[in-house]
Amino acid sequence: MDADYAEIAIIMGIVGAMLSMLGMGLLIAYYGSSKTRNVGFVFLVFGLILAYYLSTTGDSVELHNSLLAFIGGMLGGILGIIAFLVAIIKS
C-alpha cells in the first residue's frame, strides 16, 4: 500500500461523510415529518453521489485495508465501552 497519507485522509473522509449522509438520511426520510422527510431524501441522494464518486476515484488507495482499519477502530471502541460498563455495573 503505497498511497499517500493525504489521499487516504481525503478518501476516508469522504467515506465517513457518506456513511453519515446515508445513515442519517435513512433515519430522517423514515421518521421525519412532511418537511424534514424531503431533506432526508436529499441526504440520501447526496450519500449515493459520494458513493459513486468513491467508486470512480482514488486509484492508489487500497480501500479494503482502510475500511478494515476503520471497522477495527470502531469495534475496538465499542468493546472498550462495553468493558467500562461491565466494570461499573459489576461494582
Partner 1 sequence: MNLSMNFNDWAFMDFFVSMLIVGIGIALLATGLFTSYFGAGKSQKIGFGLLFSGVAILVIVYALTFDAGLGVTEQFNEKEFKQALASGVAALAGMMVGMFVILFVLMKVDTVDDLEDLDLEDLEDLDLDEELKKLEEELNEGDSDKPADEEEAQEEKE
Contact with partner 1 (CB under 8 A) among 31, 45, 49, 57: 57
Which residues fall within 8 angstroms of residue 10, CB to CB, at 6 or more apart? 58
**Within 13-42, which residues bind partner 1 (CB under 8 A)?**
13-21, 24, 28, 33-36, 39
Q: Least CB distance from residue 21 to partner 1, whole Å?
A: 6
Q: What is the DSSP string of 10-47?
A: HHHHHHHHHHHHHHHHHHHHHH--HHHHHHHHHHHHHH
Which residues bind to partner 1, rule: CB under 8 A?
A: 1, 3, 5, 8-21, 24, 28, 33-36, 39, 43, 54-81, 83-84, 87-88, 91
